[in-house]
Amino acid sequence: MPDYEFDCGPVVTLVNRTSKSLEMRFNGRSFVFKPGKNLTNAVYADRAKRTFPRMGTVDLMHPEVFEHLVGVEEWGDDCSPIEQSDAIESFDRSKLPADRQQVDVIPTRNLIPTEDRAGRLPLPVDAGFGIKTA
């Protein structure tokens, strides 16, 4: 049975402005927007706009204001080509006072590989986890 709240809205042309596919999960569904034009529901298009900011462009005072990696033709959005930036965070620190513009990256140990986020790694027995095997 379709979810009429989301599936019966107007269809719009969502433009993935990048050269790579963008993946989004919303309402229990996965979506892949290929580079260029994609037809989708207006609700999904709105969610995609909020899901794909261009890193380093979010205004700290107005977090809803940022450059989007996608645009909707029918809404008059900028649909010109653009790529994701090299910024390490979504915020635009150039709008902050000078003493708050520098970011220090704290090195961490990646205990859970990105391929396995479900925590299926064996836990160390000597820390009290797991079962000792003979």
For residue 107, is it within any domain? no
Min mean pLDDT across 34-38, 63-67, 95-99, 110-114 is at: 110-114
Q: Categorize the per-residue pLDDT at 23 as very low, low, confident or very high, splitting at 50, 70 and 90.
A: very high
* 131 pLDDT higher than 80: no
For residue 84, is it within any domain? yes
Number of domains composing the chain? 1
For residue 87, is it within any domain? yes
For residue 8, is it within any domain? yes
Min mean pLDDT across 5-9, 45-49, 128-132 is at: 128-132
For residue 110, is it within any domain? no
For residue 119, is it within any domain? no
* 14 pLDDT higher than 90: yes
| Average pLDDT rounded to a whole number, residues 36-43 | 94
pLDDT digits (tens, 9 = 90+) for 64-100: 889 999 999 999 999 999 999 988 888 888 888 888 8
Q: Which of 3-12, 59-68, 111-120, 121-130 has the highest mean pLDDT?
A: 59-68
For residue 124, is it within any domain? no
Give percent of the chain above pLDDT 70: 74
What is the domain extent for residue 26? 4-99
For residue 79, is it within any domain? yes
pLDDT for residue 70: 96
DSSP for the chain, please give it: ---HHHHTS-EEEEEE-SSS-EEEEETTEEEEE-SEEEEEEHHHHHHHHHH-BPTT-B-SSSTT---BSEEEGGGT---S-------SSSB-GGGS-GGGS--PPPP----S-TT-TT--SPPPGGGT-S----
